[in-house]
Amino acid sequence: MPEAIKQYPDPDKPVHIVFVGAGAVGCFYASRLHHPSKNIHVSLIARSNYKALLDNGVKLQTHSFGDYTFTPHAVFPNVAAAASAPVQQWDYVVVTTKALPDRGDDSALIAPLIGPNSCIVLIQNGVGVEAPYRTRFPSTPIISAVTVVSAEQISQGVIRQNRWTRIHLGPYSNSASFDSSTPITKDRDEAPPFVTTTPNVESTGNLTPTGSSPSPSPSSSAPSHHKLTDSDLALQQRGYDLASRLTSYLVHLGSVRDAHLSSESHLQLIRWHKLCINAAFNPCSVLSGGIGNADMVRDPELRLFLSAIMYEIWDAAPLILGLPKGEGFEKDPKGFATPEKILKSTERNVGSKPSMLLDWEAGRPLELEVIVGNPVRIARGRGVEMPRLQGVYALLRSMQSVRERRKREGKL
């Protein structure tokens, strides 16, 4: 069972939280954190829905908490406006935008918001998302977060939460760092042996895209291959303390009962487990010609390929994270659903399309690097090959590049 979340006294001075990104996920969690009577004030930085949020607040239609309106402390049209706001400091800067490192550096975007006592919170998909923030802000505490929530913005400023509220939060020191210049491909004779996959369909577990948190311990939370310095440990402890408070606000004030506090290593394992789903279904939905989740798993050949990618990640993740044998997903079979169980459950997900397919159909940039490219780079840097995922990355990266070139040339 997860450790009980500590309840803190109400802050004796204002805690200011700003969300960079006012989409469905950001607005939902922002609404659960905003408690002015408890001295916790949440603001939003919005783009296309700025006027709607400024005029009417956020209207939420939720499965978990009923219908209500969230009126933020402030709504800003951009980072510059938030940076000049009359607050002493932004205590938590929460980034909920899509992670697109191939399109720009979001760590530079938020720089004007970061003060000497600020904490960065990253609620983003994929792996390696923390690396650019740690590089730019070497002494700023970072909280890494993984969510399982079904929410959508059905119109400007109107959010519908369909189900789930789960979020895992944990400190980040430097455990997911990688060299972005590492080639994504190598000659075969230069590459280390790749991980073989031996699916174990006998494993049992509840169908949950992320794991439940064990009793976390910040002092033992970095992967064993990563040697922590004294400054790393101090930064990690500070991040853990801040993550504990933020989790407490969500649980005890926001009634998000499945907000969990995780150690650094377990949080990264949760990221890689969610990647088993995202890195299989998202790119394959595009590469298969626009097929949704349920239709993919009902196609025998596609199901076999999805399973192979998922097990490739399943087997590779503990090696990449430097976890001792037996300390990977299999240690918590109830929290980490096996690929086979995920595939079986997806059969019922009729009509659902992965977010990457929706972005492809709308002509938007794909979260290709953090969901597919980074995992291959990080793995290779640690002596692990994932040839199936590398193939998916190469094909989809080429498709996106060709389409964008044709669009620039006026051929689309």
Is the pLDDT reported for residue 190 higher than 50?
Answer: no
Q: What mean pLDDT do residues 336-344 have?
A: 95
Is the pLDDT reported for residue 10 higher than 50?
Answer: yes
Q: What is the pLDDT of residues 113-166, one digit of tens each?
A: 999 999 999 999 999 999 999 999 999 999 999 999 989 999 999 999 988 899
Q: Is 115 helix (H, G, I), strand (E, B) or coil?
A: coil
Kindly report the average pLDDT of the chain as a whole number.
88
Least confident of 18-27, 57-66, 125-134, 209-218: 209-218
Q: What is the pLDDT of residues 242-290, one digit of tens each?
A: 999 999 999 999 999 999 999 999 999 999 999 999 999 999 999 999 9
Q: Using alpha carbons only, how large is the chain's radius of gyration in Å?
A: 21
Predicted confidence at residue 288, as pLDDT, reads 97
Give the C-alpha separation, 276 to 388, whole Å.
13
The residue count for the chain: 412
Instruction: Tell which residue, 68, 48, 47, has the closest CA to residue 58.
Output: 68
Phi-psi region of 244 (alpha: psi -120 to 50; beta: other; left: phi over 0): alpha
Is the pLDDT reported for residue 403 higher than 60?
Answer: yes
At 249, the amino acid letter reads Y
Least confident of 47-61, 82-96, 161-175: 161-175
| 199 against 62, higher pLDDT | 62
Predicted confidence at residue 186, as pLDDT, reads 42
Is the pLDDT reported for residue 207 higher than 50?
Answer: no
Helix axis angle for 300-320 and 374-381, nearest 10°, is 40
Report residue 58 as tokens: 């956020």
Predicted confidence at residue 54, as pLDDT, reads 97
Report residue 314 as tokens: 């399943």
Say how many C-beta atoms besides its own lie within 10 A of residue 288's C-beta.
17
Predicted confidence at residue 177, as pLDDT, reads 62
C-alpha pair distances (Å), 400 with each of 335, 360, 411: 35, 9, 14
Least confident of 89-93, 330-334, 397-401: 330-334
Predicted confidence at residue 212, as pLDDT, reads 37
| pTM to 2 decimal places | 0.87
Is the pLDDT reported for residue 169 higher than 90?
Answer: yes
Render the burial of 204-222: b for 16+ CB within 10 Å, e for the rest.
ebeebbbbbbbebebeebb
Is the pLDDT reported for residue 79 higher than 90?
Answer: yes
| DSSP β-ladder status, 75-76 and 40-45 | parallel
Q: Is 147 helix (H, G, I), strand (E, B) or coil?
A: strand
Predicted confidence at residue 205, as pLDDT, reads 27
The residue with tokens 């303390």 is 241
Q: What is the pLDDT of residues 378-392, one digit of tens each?
A: 999 999 999 999 999
Q: Residue 201's pLDDT band (boundaries 50, 70, 90)?
A: very low
- 273, 382 contact by CB (below 8 A): no
Q: Residue 198's pLDDT band (boundaries 50, 70, 90)?
A: very low
Q: At 312, which helix (H) or strand (E)?
A: helix 300-320
Rank 95-104, 201-210, 222-231 by mean pLDDT and report only the highest: 95-104
Q: Residue 412's pLDDT band (boundaries 50, 70, 90)?
A: low
Predicted confidence at residue 227, as pLDDT, reads 66
Report residue 91 as tokens: 């205590």
| 325 against 307, higher pLDDT | 307
Q: What mean pLDDT do residues 226-244 have?
A: 87
